[in-house]
Structure 1
Amino acid sequence: MGTLSLQGLRKEYGQSVAVERVDIDVGEGELVSLLGPSGCGKTTTLRMVAGFIEPTEGRVVIAGQDVTKMPAYARQTGMVFQSYALFPHMTVAGNVGFGLEMRGVGRAERDRHIMEALKLVQLDHLSERLPRQLSGGQQQRVALARALVINPEVFLLDEPLSNLDAKLRAQVRGEIRALQQRLGLTTLLVTHDQEEALTMSDRLIVMEGGRVRQVGTAEELYENPADAFVADFVGRCNIVKGTIEGSAMRSESGSLLPCRMEGAPANASVLALRPERIAMQPGTDGSGLTARIGAVLYLGAQTEYQLDLDGTVLTAIRPTPQDNDALRHIKTGDTVNISWDPAAARLLPA
């Protein structure tokens, strides 16, 4: 497998800038995710790597070779599309072998590579079926095999799991990651799904408005977000606007919230606090902060609590209480004490 380097990549559509000077390096065998909301430029970036879109500025370098001006079919990239893009009139084997046929690979060698690719995704027994005879998960595996069969330098995944139901998505997600690691595939994944990015990636690149906001491992982005956008997009987070007052932040509604002052940026204007960091106790004994329960949402292993601190609204997530837990009988309208380690509440720029 090769490496991938995007150098000053920019894409304009008339007066609109879809991607603004993106610099990304993906190491050999690494899986890097482009994560962000719809319209942030992640798919445009991926399509420039694949050769479907020509950049306005910048370079795409694969395995040390500048491929910026090279057509898509000449690049050593294998791409899996969100819609699978299978030919409905072709068998599984025909779909997988299409790229090899276009490259002029002989029939015998082509058949051998097709079966090898189908064995990788455990579909060699379905080689003569048509796409309409397959489940969604099986169709996705065919798309994976078709991308792998050409032995690409770089593997590109464009929202590959978005058409699958939640349970199947988790299963195929694990299969793709295991396959990528086993084969050492240099991979660029586009997704808007936080869980997908967090569980599959070696590193994540958070994009917004065509720009890269932060690059890092899942833990780095979750524990040390660069700004409020990253904190809010990567995992659940309470974002509270306010002003610094002593060793706390005064929210816009007047609540005084303890936070970590060390290392806070000079332009800090929001407090970021993960819901699972908030501790709760029923009643009001004078310790911590007093909040009223606005809602209790049962989520199975966890329970979510909406908290109202005189106009400042926070979300707390706790393990679902058992029979002997003091929170077992908490309900909407009750009053509770809440607290958190000040180091868990980070001050960030907006």
Structure 2
Amino acid sequence: MGTLTLDALSRRYGATLAVERVDLTVAEGELVALLGPSGCGKTTTLRMVAGFVPPSEGRVLIAGRDVTRLPPHARDTGMVFQSYALFPHMSVAQNVAFGLEMRKVNRAEREARVREALRLVRLDGLADRLPRQLSGGQQQRVALTRALVVNPAVFLLDEPLSNLDAKLRAEVRFEIRALQQRLGLTTLFVTHDQEEALTMADRLVVMDRGRVRQVGSAEELYERPADAFVAGFIGRCNLIPGQVEGRGLFRTAAGAVLPCALSGPPGANMLALRPEAIAVAPGGADGMAARIFAITYLGAQTEYHMDLAGTRLFAVLPTPAEGSAMRALAVGDRVMAEWDPALARLLCAAPGDLPAPETTG
């Protein structure tokens, strides 16, 4: 295994800059997820690493070796595609052995490595089946095994779970992470699914319009987002446009004055408040009094959507016990909405990041 380094990696399509100067190092044995909305450049970045898309500028280095101009088969990478890309006329064993054949591995070693790889992913009893005779989860494991059997220096995953149902996706997600950690695989993983990225990755790279917005652990990105885009993309968040009114105060676009962190970046124009940071209590006549306009029961949790002086907020709380005053709340009731001001972060938002002001009429 080895490190993966992207050095000012860029890709243009005519006048369009699809990926702009991405700098990133994936340490040996680390799993890093590229995360972002459709069209943000994450898949293009992965394909430049794999060698399927040539970069317009920059370099790709694997274990310190510049592979930028090498073809895919010469890069020492293993890739799992979104569609799995299994050969329908080949058996499971033949699919897994394909990469070894291309590398001229002798038959005895090839068969031994295929047997061991299939055993590792619990498919050793299905070696003679064709892909169409397998479930979606089994096909996905065949694709994983085919990429792993060549012992790649870097393992690449392009949204490999998107074709699975929710329950199976959670199971296979755990299997991939356990396998990656057990084998110490240096892995770059592309997904648009936040839960996948948050639960699988050592670090996340949030991309938007071809640029990297922030790199960090799940905790860092959730609790200390660099800007409003990251705060809104990672998890759920109340993003309230406005301006700093004074030290510890923020005036929303709707005119409400809300408590906030004592300091923020210059030019802060957004208040970011996670829904679980808001406390809600029945009653309230002044100050932080709000009116409920929707309640959503989610089993263990309940969402309260509120209007506070013309500004919309939503809070997520543990579902209250039956018979409690909180359980009796209904649409139209007034409540007190409060939070620790330090948790109401002041952030900057570029024009494209700024949501429309949410007001009630």
TM-score tier by shorter-chain length is over 0.9
Q: Distance in 2 between matches of 1:301 and 1:175?
A: 27
Amino acid at match of 1:349: C
> Aligned-pair distance for 1:324?
4.7
Residue matched to 1:349: 348
Residue matched to 2:314: 315
Alignment of 1:83-122 (within 5 A): 83-122=83-122
* 1:15-40 C-alpha deviation (Å, 9 max, x unpaired): 11100000000000000011100000
Q: Distance in 1 between matches of 2:79 and 2:345?
A: 39
* 1:284-324 C-alpha deviation (Å, 9 max, x unpaired): 154x5111111111112111111111321111111111125
SS where residue 236 of structure 1 aligns?
coil
* 1:152-177 C-alpha deviation (Å, 9 max, x unpaired): 00000111111111111111111111
Q: Distance in 2 between matches of 1:311 and 1:166?
A: 37
Q: Distance in 1 between matches of 2:133 and 2:324?
A: 51
Amino acid at match of 1:303: T
Q: Distance in 1 between matches of 2:160 and 2:313?
A: 34
Amino acid at match of 2:259: P
Residue matched to 1:272: 272
Alignment of 1:209-220 (within 5 A): 209-220=209-220
Residue matched to 1:289: 288
Residue matched to 2:355: none
Q: Distance in 1 between matches of 2:324 and 2:170?
A: 32
* 1:215-252 C-alpha deviation (Å, 9 max, x unpaired): 11110010100000000000101100001112211111
Q: Distance in 1 between matches of 2:158 and 2:172?
A: 14
SS where residue 221 of structure 1 aligns?
helix
State whether structure 2 residue 63 is matched by structure 1 residue 63: yes
Residue matched to 2:43: 43
State whether structure 2 residue 164 is matched by structure 1 residue 173: no
Residue matched to 1:302: 301
> Aligned-pair distance for 1:283?
1.4
Q: Distance in 2 between matches of 1:185 and 1:137?
A: 21
> Aligned-pair distance for 1:273?
0.3
SS where residue 19 of structure 2 aligns?
strand
SS where residue 245 of structure 1 aligns?
strand
Amino acid at match of 2:176: I
Q: Distance in 1 between matches of 2:307 and 2:117?
A: 55
Amino acid at match of 2:258: L
Residue matched to 1:205: 205
> Aligned-pair distance for 1:145?
0.2
Tell me how large the CA RMSD over aligned residues is: 1.0
Q: Distance in 2 between matches of 1:293 and 1:343?
A: 24
Q: Distance in 2 between matches of 1:128 and 1:299?
A: 45
Residue matched to 1:260: 261
State whether structure 2 residue 339 is matched by structure 1 residue 340: yes
> Aligned-pair distance for 1:326?
2.6
Amino acid at match of 1:241: P
Amino acid at match of 1:313: R
SS where residue 168 of structure 2 aligns?
helix
* 1:170-193 C-alpha deviation (Å, 9 max, x unpaired): 111111111100100000000111
> Aligned-pair distance for 1:325?
3.4
Q: Where does the alignment leave 5 or more consecutive residues of structure 1 unmatched?
A: none
SS where residue 302 of structure 2 aligns?
strand
SS where residue 281 of structure 1 aligns?
strand
Q: Distance in 1 between matches of 2:220 and 2:83?
A: 32
State whether structure 2 residue 190 is matched by structure 1 residue 190: yes
Q: Distance in 1 between matches of 2:304 and 2:160?
A: 33
Q: Distance in 2 between matches of 1:140 and 1:325?
A: 47
Amino acid at match of 2:327: R
Residue matched to 2:134: 134
Amino acid at match of 1:164: L
Q: Distance in 1 between matches of 2:304 and 2:176?
A: 35
Residue matched to 1:151: 151
Q: Distance in 2 between matches of 1:115 and 1:329?
A: 61
Q: Distance in 1 between matches of 2:261 and 2:323?
A: 33
If the length of structure 2 is used for normalisation, what is the TM-score? 0.95
Residue matched to 1:72: 72
Residue matched to 1:331: 330
Q: Distance in 1 between matches of 2:218 and 2:181?
A: 17
Q: Distance in 1 between matches of 2:293 and 2:111?
A: 62
Q: Distance in 2 between matches of 1:52 and 1:100?
A: 20
* Moved beyond 2 Å, runs of 4+: none
Q: Distance in 2 between matches of 1:326 and 1:87?
A: 61
Q: Which moved more, 1:338-347 or 1:119-128?
A: 119-128
Q: Distance in 2 between matches of 1:87 and 1:345?
A: 52
